Structure 1
């Protein structure tokens, strides 16, 4: 995934009479007022959402454009499009664009992944119209000048080369490849040799085909009058036209199997990545799944942290997470451990996953995870920045603002039995796949004592190509 930016570059004291070691009881959750969302769909297909938030004189802008495509070439071209979108238009060069953004008291950035191209920004609320004018200028008139493009491509090749030499990225890419094969979700970082072949003509063609309002969502949150903002957006972007992006292809069926080892001779640590399918935000068990992941490894008080960090000291920051791409959700476990404790650490992770799938969580664990989840949602929407990002993500998933009330209510109803049932479906070790990046000669024996290992060890990717060496590279896709 790539990102580019233009524009401007806790603690506390215990109350008197209290002890820092005494944790006060958690107050009852009070539902926040649901934001009022004004909405309009423009003639070209762009969906516009506006929320008035007057706490600061700013407006936050989030534009997400469907951007799915097949193959490594599309991924590399998409990365370069995101990096060079603001390098020039028919009216302004890169410096002039950056100068205009700064004069509006704001910033603009871009990023892309397998689902979407995003433009993220902000400005003084009084400058909404010129900000929209600038965005429209880029959407409809980006030129990708050769001089700017070549420099950005060389930089991205260098960054990708470095990234593909890092064990954390090797492990992440290995897990995605193991889960998704040749699906667009099977890689997040393009190979350097593919990036180096992309031309400005390729990116201009991609822009013409994919930078489209069809299925796109523009979210505005800030000190603006909603109906007036909708009128201003339509005046600026009402004539924007384009064609629909390709639909995201269905995910391949998960094929569980042996542990895959990607060999890094001499490595002093092993990067453990475990993952598998999860239910999406529309599923009745979505709230229970979120709490299951939180109890297992989703925050500092989780079982995984307590076990392999606090109790045994195997790793510093183990965690689990849930991701919600358009085509299907994913549960992931991440831990980086010293080479000599790879087997014991993997055993403990499997143990904690199995315990989640077979035994109910306690009421105390569930309540703590529930309070954490409700609190993080409240914090994430307390600012204009957070609310804009949250609403944009929800809109991309086909979910409305009512989620901000409905989800805390759903969390409040989750029982230990609900967590057990979804854990058996999502967290059970036999429903997950495992990829290890480390010194195969040193870790294979102890890993083999607790799990089947793929018969062929995969060589670490070549930093210049991002491709795993040896015929066994195909094993990761199957």
Structure 2
């Protein structure tokens, strides 16, 4: 039986007229109760007080199991079941010696997960896909990093794929040739970018082109790499001693450590401790103009020696760096980007060069504003070191640093990444919580003292990369070597 169709409600002309007549009354009533933001902000007794910002609570590390296996592999398992996933970070020392080894190391990273003797890369990808896991290999200047994730039930498969790749990666000739082509093209593209051109110029100027700070292979050397060289480098470099595996997520730490130990019992070798790799410090010296004919933009790059992360000054210097140029409310950003418009990007930060830390100040500017931007950077360095620093600036930097520290540990992925990086710096896991707590107690006078010690304008050297025909006259007046 078909249900009756509802009929529309009919209103008489008198009813419609009555509703229209009542509309102005309703609007007037609504307007009489509406208050503007300025009215809401005041009471009969005066302005409403602004609530205080909630205090930032100390971060508490989740339960952690930290152990070293008999083969020297350090394993840290953190139970953080915020989602039913686990994040994996394996960090293996990878310090190739010489240009040929550097090129082979790049190819090794690109082919490590491209198949083993037992299965080719399609089968490996299929195993990961069926379980919802991912795994990638990335080489950094000092490490081979394997980065993965898996659902709770997929972690055993992820660990097996990882162990198989370490034990039996084929580095097949076809895969090696394919990887060489991809890498060569990527290097050519990257080296055409202004940022990379500036970094190369800074390396040659500040470090006298020292091989210890060269991290990108030359395409010609890369082309000569053979599959046999890649396989030999794998066997000699990828060893468990000095390596660390971090697992964070929905896991049973003790059972996971036992599983890792069983899968990697074959993995042996490596030095018990890694000697720090020191590079020459960029001593004080002139800023040099590096010609980039026809460029409409310039890159300013200044560097100075920095402290170790264990230096008592590090917390105070971190705040001084933020005040100077390290975040969106810093002096450099406010001055040369927001107020004067001399630079479209500026930054000040700590930068790792192997095991050596340096201070790096950067600005990217239109050619016509380059000299003015450099002049203001130097003026801000002088103002920072001569002080005093207003308490409000220090407190703003402190709140930002503590907030970013909390964010960096909030998710499984960021906690795993930061734990792995901390171990790579040679620091204990608790540094992730000890450092923010130390920053809470740093006094303004300590920040001023650290600024005077480390941000001395005379300690910096660097380069300006741009069109010499336009920049030379004004930069020469600033003492830049043309």
- How far is the alpha carbon of 1:145 from its aligned partner? 1.0
Whether contact under 8 Å (1:34, 1:401) holds in the other structure is no
Distance (whole Å) between structure 1 residues aligned to residue 457 and residue 141 of structure 2: 27
Moved more, 440-449 or 181-190: 181-190
- How far is the alpha carbon of 1:196 from its aligned partner? 1.9
Distance (whole Å) between structure 1 residues aligned to residue 264 and residue 210 of structure 2: 33
Whether contact under 8 Å (2:286, 2:479) holds in the other structure is yes
Identify if the C-alpha distance between structure 1 residues 386 and 185 changes in structure 2 by more than 3 Å, giving closer, same or farther. Answer: farther
In structure 1, runs of 5+ residues without a counterpart are 1-13, 455-478
Whether contact under 8 Å (2:94, 2:144) holds in the other structure is yes
Whether contact under 8 Å (1:69, 1:246) holds in the other structure is no
The equivalent residue for 1:139 is 166
Distance (whole Å) between structure 2 residues aligned to residue 218 and residue 267 of structure 1: 45
The equivalent residue for 2:10 is none
Distance (whole Å) between structure 2 residues aligned to residue 378 and residue 419 of structure 1: 22
Cα offsets for 1:270-303 (capped at 9, x unmatched): 0111112211211111111111111111111111
Moved more, 198-207 or 224-233: 198-207
1:53 corresponds to which of 80, 83, 87:
80
Distance (whole Å) between structure 1 residues aligned to residue 383 and residue 100 of structure 2: 43
Residue 332 (structure 2) pairs with residue 307 (structure 1):
no
1:294 corresponds to which of 322, 339, 354:
322
Distance (whole Å) between structure 2 residues aligned to residue 246 and residue 180 of structure 1: 23
The equivalent residue for 1:390 is 418
Equivalent runs, 1:272-421 vs 2, <5 Å: 272-421=300-449
Identify if the C-alpha distance between structure 1 residues 142 and 250 changes in structure 2 by more than 3 Å, giving closer, same or farther. Answer: same
1:156 corresponds to which of 176, 183, 187:
183
Identify if the C-alpha distance between structure 1 residues 243 and 18 changes in structure 2 by more than 3 Å, giving closer, same or farther. Answer: farther
Whose RCO is larger (CA < 8 A, sep 6+)? 1
Cα offsets for 1:25-61 (capped at 9, x unmatched): 4321111222222022112110000000111011110
Distance (whole Å) between structure 1 residues aligned to residue 52 and residue 183 of structure 2: 50
Moved more, 120-129 or 30-39: 30-39
1:85 corresponds to which of 107, 112, 131:
112
Whether contact under 8 Å (1:84, 1:144) holds in the other structure is yes
1:215 corresponds to which of 242, 251, 266:
242
Distance (whole Å) between structure 1 residues aligned to residue 97 and residue 204 of structure 2: 14
The equivalent residue for 1:111 is 138
Identify if the C-alpha distance between structure 1 residues 24 and 324 changes in structure 2 by more than 3 Å, giving closer, same or farther. Answer: farther
Cα offsets for 1:308-333 (capped at 9, x unmatched): 11111112221111124552112111
Identify if the C-alpha distance between structure 1 residues 171 and 70 changes in structure 2 by more than 3 Å, giving closer, same or farther. Answer: same
Whether contact under 8 Å (1:173, 1:188) holds in the other structure is no
Cα offsets for 1:71-95 (capped at 9, x unmatched): 3323222222111111121111122
Distance (whole Å) between structure 2 residues aligned to residue 25 and residue 73 of structure 1: 59
Moved more, 176-185 or 78-87: 176-185
SS of 1:318's partner is strand
SS of 1:360's partner is coil
Larger CA Rg, structure 1 vs 2: 2
Distance (whole Å) between structure 1 residues aligned to residue 52 and residue 378 of structure 2: 33
In structure 2, runs of 5+ residues without a counterpart are 1-36, 43-48
Whether contact under 8 Å (1:183, 1:249) holds in the other structure is no
1:265 corresponds to which of 276, 293, 301:
293
- How far is the alpha carbon of 1:261 from its aligned partner? 2.0
Whether contact under 8 Å (2:246, 2:419) holds in the other structure is yes
SS of 1:221's partner is strand
The equivalent residue for 1:43 is 70
2:221 corresponds to which of 194, 206, 210:
194
Whether contact under 8 Å (2:85, 2:249) holds in the other structure is yes
* Equivalent residues, number: 437
Identify if the C-alpha distance between structure 1 residues 23 and 189 changes in structure 2 by more than 3 Å, giving closer, same or farther. Answer: farther
- How far is the alpha carbon of 1:104 from its aligned partner? 2.0
- How far is the alpha carbon of 1:307 from its aligned partner? 0.5
Whether contact under 8 Å (2:336, 2:343) holds in the other structure is yes
Aligned-residue CA RMSD (Å): 2.1
Distance (whole Å) between structure 1 residues aligned to residue 464 and residue 480 of structure 2: 13
2:53 corresponds to which of 15, 23, 26:
26
Cα offsets for 1:201-226 (capped at 9, x unmatched): 22111111101101000000010011
- How far is the alpha carbon of 1:129 from its aligned partner? 1.7
- How far is the alpha carbon of 1:405 from its aligned partner? 2.8
Distance (whole Å) between structure 2 residues aligned to residue 319 and residue 417 of structure 1: 24
The equivalent residue for 1:130 is 157
